[in-house]
Amino acid sequence: MRLLIADDHQLLRDTLSSYLGQEKDIEIVTVGDIEQARDTMRSAPGFDLVLLDYAMPGMEALTGLRMILADEGAPPVALISGLAPRDVVEQAFRMGVRGFLHKSMPATSLLNAIRFMLMGERFIPVDFIVREAAIPDGAPANLAESPAGVALSKRELQVLAALSNGRTNKEIAREIGLSEATVKLHVKTLYRRLGVSNRTQAAIVARNRNLV
């Protein structure tokens, strides 16, 4: 899998490259600004994911993101930042980003989130849940707001339904067509969003709130 990291801070690029480069199945390429990112994607296409620093030169709020997403054959893109306000993150999701990573995330959480997105899933931090009302029809974020006011994706609702029926992670993975690791990430996210700590509580909350 090929990952492009675009950030104007050399230290961050080196740190991420060094840490993620320990993963034998991930190839890392780093650049320092938006134009270098676009040039690299044109000259060496085939990236599975691009991490864009929200505040780096050339981004101009989300203008740089818009340009990259508009490029022919653009790969999936995720924002990484320590500054982006909630409304900017929500706008980025409406534009079609794969996820948002906060620079304060622990290294292991960052790696898990990147792998989650490399599997084709969307990574949405619990603090930046995007409501259905803010997303136009056909937008790629594909979220649905439950009667309880908790925004869950269709995939999360599938996992929650299977979990509530007593399925194990392995059974859910086989039933839905995901890897077991991806299912585990979905379950962990569901726990946070529902405010529970185990499968039994999740099933009870899901039924009480008419989520399944």
Domain containing 174 equals: 142-208
Task: Choose the final residue of a domain: 103, 128, 153.
Answer: 128
Q: What is the pLDDT of residues 84-97, one digit of tens each?
A: 777 888 888 889 89
Is the predicted pLDDT of residue 112 greater than 70, yes or no? yes
- The pLDDT assigned to 132 comes to 36
Decide if 134 is inside a domain: no
Is the predicted pLDDT of residue 52 greater than 90, yes or no? yes
CATH of the domain at 191: 1.10.10.10
Contacts of 90 (CB under 8 A, 6+ apart): 128, 130, 134
Contact 203, 164 (CB under 8 A): yes
**Looking at residues 11-21, what average pLDDT do you find?**
91
Q: What 3-state DSSP class applies to 121? A: coil
- The pLDDT assigned to 133 comes to 32
Contacts of 109 (CB under 8 A, 6+ apart): none
CATH of the domain at 117: 3.40.50.2300
Is the predicted pLDDT of residue 102 greater than 80, yes or no? yes
Q: Are residues 91 and 62 both part of a single domain? A: yes
Q: Are residues 108 and 159 both part of a single domain? A: no
Is the predicted pLDDT of residue 138 greater than 70, yes or no? no
Integer Cα distance of 100 and 78 in angstroms: 6
Decide if 155 is inside a domain: yes
Q: What is the pLDDT of residues 144-196, one digit of tens each?
A: 444 444 567 888 889 999 998 888 999 999 998 988 888 998 898 888 888 78
Specify the DSSP class assigned to residue 203.
Answer: H
How far, in whole angstroms, is CA 189 from its chain's centroid?
12
Helices (H), 30-123: 34-43, 63-70, 86-95, 107-118
Is the predicted pLDDT of residue 79 greater than 90, yes or no? yes
Query: What confidence category does residue 126 fall into, taking pLDDT thresholds of 50, 70 and 90?
Result: low
Q: Are residues 30 and 103 both part of a single domain? A: yes
Q: Are residues 75 and 171 both part of a single domain? A: no
